[in-house]
Amino acid sequence: MAERRVTIGWPEGLHARPASIFVRAAGAVGVPVTIAKNGGTPVNAASMLALLGLGAQGGEEVVLSSDAPDADAALDRLAKLVSEGLDELPAA
């Protein structure tokens, strides 16, 4: 399983607009991805309700993971999005 540990760069955490950006990006990477707070239960990263249920705040660490083959590039892109608090998924 590939995974990335990343600190949330959006000051407001994964709420409202940042959550929407992340969910769209997670759905667009082409592999199933989960997200969890450090030590927490992983949830579907492409589910808005699941993501909001995490209650992840800015500055907290989350773990992105995937069992899919060749998931490394997708996780790298999502990790960059989260850590830098970007408004869109970075180019491959």
CA quadruple 22, 28, 30, 32: dihedral, nearest 10: 30
Candidates 6, 8, 10, 15; catalytic one: 15
Provide the CB-side half-sphere exposure for 81 (13 A, CA). 25
| Euclidean distance between the first and the last CA atom of the chain, given in angstroms as a whole number | 21
**How many whole angstroms separate alpha carbon 25 and alpha carbon 2?**
18
Q: Is 15 a catalytic residue?
A: yes
Write down the residue that tokens 């239960």 correspond to.
Answer: 41
Catalytic positions, please? 15
